Amino acid sequence: MKPSKILLHFLLFVITFFTTTVAGVQWLNLDPFDLNNFMRGLPYSISILFILSCHEFGHYFAARYHKVEATLPFFMPFPAIAGFLNFGTLGAVIRTRSPIPSKKAMFDIGVAGPIAGFIATLLVLVYGFVNLPGREFILRIHPDYFSPVKRIPQGGVDLAFGNTAMYDLLKSLLTDPRRHFVPPMTEMYHYPFLCTGWFGLFVTAMNLLPVGQLDGGHISYTMFGDKHKIISRIAFTVIIIIGLIGFLPLLGMTSSFGWTGWLFWGLILFFVVKLDHPPVLNEEPLDSTRTLIGWAALFIFLLSFSPSPFSISI
């Protein structure tokens, strides 16, 4: 690889490290322009980049194993923009530069990223739940949190992250509300390892949707062949419906289900990612071991998916 291209990957990583550190500071309700706060954002940035790196290098090393030429990960920084949820990054991607020769290679490359990222996410979440700080942590952010009468700042909003089966399972296994404060979903984003772990589950679920050339699309195509077209359209339709349901509160109707962002993601799938998966040269079916791993990936999707990942009330 040319030094100039390596430099591009490195610069994108450095910029993403900066924007995610700033995001980590902001999730703590601190001023990101105060350099004294910069170190406070490092737990967030390091853990989120760890998860993204594991995911993308899972793809990368699987591609190299099958002698498919692939780029190093392109990390995508995302600066703070008023009115947007700011995770500091739009994720990361790699690009393959040579044809993928077989279904087996396509499956391995597609499944390696989500599994590696999921394992990294579990490590971050377990660490976050096992090392929950005391009540003084939330009191530094919301001094009146445990007060009987809480003051809501003028113009403030209530943000809640959606539950997922995996997050709830780890929380129930690793925490005891009688011994320490376990943050609700309306406050957990202040806790860097819980926030980035939740983000890891969110990204895993988005990528495992069995549509087009998403990771889930690679898995679905290699497992089910032509039936993938039906599966892809069903998944796309469900995502669009959940996205449309997210508009109900804007119409004055009560609903805690759905998220308008899924509609936006559905449009990207339809116009950019596309619904169908291109064929590969060798259509030989997967072996039983890969098929079992594919079903495990589907189970990971179910554990990680939330139909309502974000809800905001004014």
Q: Label residues 175-191 b or e (16+ Cβ within 10 Å = b).
A: beeeeebbbebebbbbb
Six token digits for residue 9: 């990957």
Domain contains 268: no
Residues sharing a CB contact under 8 Å with residue 102, sequence separation 6 or more, in sequence order:
280, 281, 282, 284
Domain contains 251: no
Q: Are 44 and 200 in contact (CB under 8 A)?
A: no
Domain contains 214: no
Output 130 or 250, whichever has higher pLDDT. Answer: 130
Three-state DSSP class for 102? strand
Domain contains 213: no
- The model carries a pTM of 0.95
Q: Which pLDDT score is estimated for 153?
A: 52
Question: What is the pLDDT averaged over residues 6-33?
Answer: 95
Domain contains 255: no
Query: Tell me: the pLDDT tens digits for 163-203?
Result: 999 999 999 999 999 998 999 999 999 999 999 999 999 99
Q: Is the dihedral of CA 123, 128, 130, 131 positive or negative?
A: positive
Query: Tell me: the pLDDT tens digits for 99-126?
Result: 999 999 999 999 999 999 999 999 999 9
The pLDDT-based confidence of 82 (bands split at 50, 70, 90) is: low
Domain contains 144: yes
Residue 151 above 60 pLDDT? no
Question: What is the pLDDT averaged over residues 292-307?
Answer: 98
Q: Measured in whole angstroms, how far is the alpha carbon of residue 73 from the centre of its chain?
A: 16
Q: Which residue has the tokens 């690679």?
A: 218
Question: What is the pLDDT averaged over residues 86-110?
Answer: 96
Residues sharing a CB contact under 8 Å with residue 55, sequence separation 6 or more, in sequence order:
92, 113, 114, 116, 117, 120, 203, 204, 207
Q: Which pLDDT score is estimated for 152?
A: 53
Q: Which pLDDT score is estimated for 146?
A: 87
User: At residue 112, what is the residue type?
Assistant: A
Domain contains 235: no
Six token digits for residue 208: 């495992």
Residues sharing a CB contact under 8 Å with residue 183, sequence separation 6 or more, in sequence order:
132, 138, 190, 191, 194
Mean pLDDT in the chain? 93
Domain extent for 14: 3-208+283-313
Distance CA 43, CA 192 (A): 6
Give the residue from 111, 131, 123, 113 showing the smallest Cα distance to 181: 131
Domain contains 128: yes
Query: Tell me: the pLDDT tens digits for 198-207?
Result: 999 999 999 9
Total tally of structural domains belonging to the chain: 1
The pLDDT-based confidence of 268 (bands split at 50, 70, 90) is: very high
